[in-house]
Amino acid sequence: MTQVMEQIVQSVPQPAGPVPAKMVVEDFSASFGEMQVLKRVNLQIMPCERLAIIGPASSGKTTLMRSLNRLNDMEPQFSREGRIQLDGHDIYHPQTDVPALRRRVGMVYAVPTPLPWSIYENITYGPRLAGVTSRQRLDALVESSLRASFLWDEVKDRLDMPGTDLSGGQQQRLCLSRVLALEPEVLLLDEPCSGLDPISTARIEEAMVELKRKYSIVLVTNNTKQAARASDRTAFFLMGELIECGPTVELFTNPKHQRTSDYITGHFG
């Protein structure tokens, strides 16, 4: 019996070691001129997870997100301390290829911004800039990215129509498809449902469930109900500080800090 038990134990796959974080934010502070917006933030973004970032206005949520792919570099008064790593490499290292970084860490904004071209051209624009020339490859990227954003069935027979003719919710999913066509590793969603109706919001959240199988997703949202529905972990920011971060269910049912409880119960913000 002992030998049989030993054989059974040996045949059971042993748990793997800890999975390394996809991105690591270490003692990161950010300022615009004299105004400090983020204060020594430490945060990990894990592979294949949906991380929601919540907090009242001016809490630093969008500044953090724009720091993850160095979009804040475009602001002349931006300065920072600390570092952010992607797969163990400091994204602020002087030799970082910033355009390549932004392809790896793609961003979808609150307001849909389709290019004034066809649906097909909207999606293939980025891959063409990245050097993809094969029509077969471009066709495959168009279909796969539209399927991933749950838009393919709605537009597959009219890929030559202007992207601007789509509804607001469809335009947002087109913008998501445009980012996915670059085959990123991390998706940054900055209030992607802020102007959408409930049905379109549900489509985006449904897409996020499938997308997290392949991508790390960071969702900035002012809607605490959406954070509770559409994330695996949640980070609460207040006045530039990370107050707490943990599994979404735990943070919303048993927050560690009173300020978190006050915010999610609507006492401020």
CA 127 to CA 120: how far, in whole Å? 12
CA 44 to CA 33: how far, in whole Å? 27
**Hey, what domains does the chain have and what are their CATH numbers?**
21-264 (3.40.50.300)
Angle at the Cα of 180 from the Cα atoms of 178 and 184, rounded to 5 degrees: 125
Q: Under a CB-based contact definition with an 8 Å cutoff, are residues 25 and 51 in contact?
A: no
CA 171 to CA 162: how far, in whole Å? 10
Q: What confidence tens digit (pLDDT) does each residue in 8-31 have?
A: 334 445 455 678 999 999 999 999
- Return all residues near 236 (Cβ < 8 A) that are at least 6 apart: 54, 55, 242, 243, 244, 245, 251, 255, 257, 259, 260, 263, 264
Percentage of residues in the chain having pLDDT higher than 70: 93
Q: Under a CB-based contact definition with an 8 Å cutoff, are residues 106 and 179 in contact?
A: yes
CA 221 to CA 54: how far, in whole Å? 6
Quote the pLDDT of residue 2: 43
Count of beta carbons in the 10 Å neighbourhood of residue 97:
9
Please list the ranges in the chain whose pLDDT falls under 70. 1-17, 268-269
Q: What confidence tens digit (pLDDT) does each residue in 239-252 have?
A: 999 999 999 999 99
Residue with tokens 């707490």: 244
Quote the pLDDT of residue 194: 86
